[in-house]
Structure 1
Amino acid sequence: MIIPEYGRRLDENEWAPCIDMLLSGEHIVLTTHMNSDGDGLGSEVALAAVLKTLGKKVSIVNPTEVPTNYNFLRNIADISVFDEQGEDLIEEISLADLVVLLDANLSERMGSIWNHVSFARELGKLEVLCIDHHLDPEDFADLMVCETYASSTGELMYDLITAMEVHVGKKLITQGVAEGLYVAVMTDTGSFRFPKTTPYVYALAGDLVAKGADPNEIYDQVYNSLKPQALRLLGAALSEIRLIDGDKISWLFISQEMLNETGSKLFDTDLIIKYLLGVRSVRIAVLMVEMQDGRTKVSFRSRGDVYVNRIAKKYGGGGHKNAAGCLLRYAPEKATQMILSEVRSFLKSSEIVNKK
């Protein structure tokens, strides 16, 4: 596992094992985490385009459907959504030389895809490569490049692809690749606002614009393409936000009933959490969503030195210092009581530590 110190890039030599693995594979399957986002999707379509240019057979197989605001990305229609009943995609995985997981470092984040990847790997030649930037990686891949200093997986993909250009002696960042990488970096940096948005990130974003990415059009497509049902969900949700503990904690629970009444889907909840952190006094924001199977999806956001990834990790999840999540195998009422109690205790302990 390669984890360099903060603020530097991996050079061509350090990327070499990853490049060798990609160039050695003939049939490559790319995937990302459940409930995919701009970073995972942008990284996938960019890498897929590069590998196809290099003559590889490439498929993108994701565990859940693509949020509609990313439908503008080139070749996004080529992404298949995995279904355990779909024999074609199971066969696709079993015949692959290499499976590449992007923007996740836990095998369970692949959903049911992992079961088939693991089985095919045991049978023969299949290898697994993981490229990610989150904390607390699981040791499950044949090669894992986990750059926790990076702003996004898109930043890592930019570095990897530019290293590949040196290796193969060919320009690989076309306009389509630049668009995918720009989406990845823009979304995971909160439109270039989050703490890991270093001068280098601005420089690579500028290079992607120079190579064809249109920042105005991309921003408009990602953030101004709400479906009516998503807007209805937002309206219903805003009235249900609660503030507790001296307005230091905000939380919201979204039920299946609320999703059904507004005609919304799970990915429509992603735009809501930023409102939970909109009050300046809030230190931790918690969004809980009831899943169709009765489990509860929990997303955390925080300010400053409040490491919400530690809460998520305690419940089998993970993420960043200030943005993390987990999936609880509990019904909503129990999950809400458990998580709010945990968050209250965690915030108090964090405040005590920070005062010392």
Structure 2
Amino acid sequence: MTASTPLTSPALAAFIRGIERRALVVAEYQTGEVLVAERAVAVAMRAFVPAAVDQPMSEWPLQFWRLLSSTPQLRQPADEGQWPQDLLHLPGLTDGQRLALLLRIGAGLDEALAAQVLGTEVEAYCQWLAQACPRDHQGQPDAQAWRGLAEAVQARVRELSPERQAQLERLRESLVSTGPQAPQREPAVPVMQAERRERKPPATRSPLGQWLWLLTGAALLAGVAWAWLSSSRESTSAAGTEQPAPAGLEVENPVRSENLQQLELPPPAAPASVEPVVDPAQAALLEQADFLAWVAAGGPLPVDESNEQPRNPAPQAVALAAGVAQAN
């Protein structure tokens, strides 16, 4: 299985970014020289990145601080170092005591991990740490001075100058550029691009040729339009004549078409009167229609009451009177 490229792993890049400031401050206050500390951190990082690829993340802090503490610049620092006024307690310590103190207050390691970094027992490390602790006038450990040292070192870590931060950024970029690269399969895209480059580019057309193509196309369009217009005129003028049959087709009764003339119709007549014409004789009969219908049905004639005794009583009345007499 092939290892991934150093610092392309997000976890490894985040670890380097989170530890680089503390490493630079620890190296600077251990040696007392800025340039020597920068070289020591660069050496430790270049040795750590390739080895960390094959190691679990839990072992990265131990591996890195062990590499940094084992550099010659930190094990045997020169005597020309310079320290700030609030950290003048550091140059009075031995190299081992100063490194043990900086791993505690600068790197933030606990006693067990710091002892593994220095390659010693926890009791021995605690003894070095007690020897590096500031003392008061009575020779007792000064807790307030201890807190002052720790706060001063942590302030240097937080307030790193922009120049130092830019230098650390350049160091990370150099780790990416010089780290071992994982073998990658060559993609097929460059091959296709090479084939396209081998093909000759299409020949460019001159402006004269382009104008000729445009004129030719315009002439063709004009010919098509003229043919369509002439055919429409011929079809209009040939109305009313016999249409010839297509070649090879015999038609017994050819269809003839002719234009219909518009007929001039007379104007519509005025509507006649709807009033009926009634004959005077029929009008008189219509007035006696009810009476005539009653007589036709066999009803008795009405009695003429203009005379006191009618001369000729109606036959129906005579018959009615005779029937009454017989009954009596």
TM-score by length of 1: 0.23
Q: Which structure's residues are more often strand, by fraction?
A: 1
What TM-score do you get using the length of structure 2 for normalisation?
A: 0.25
User: Based on CA coordinates, which of the two structures has the bigger radius of gyration?
Assistant: 2
Structure richer in helix, relative to its length: 2
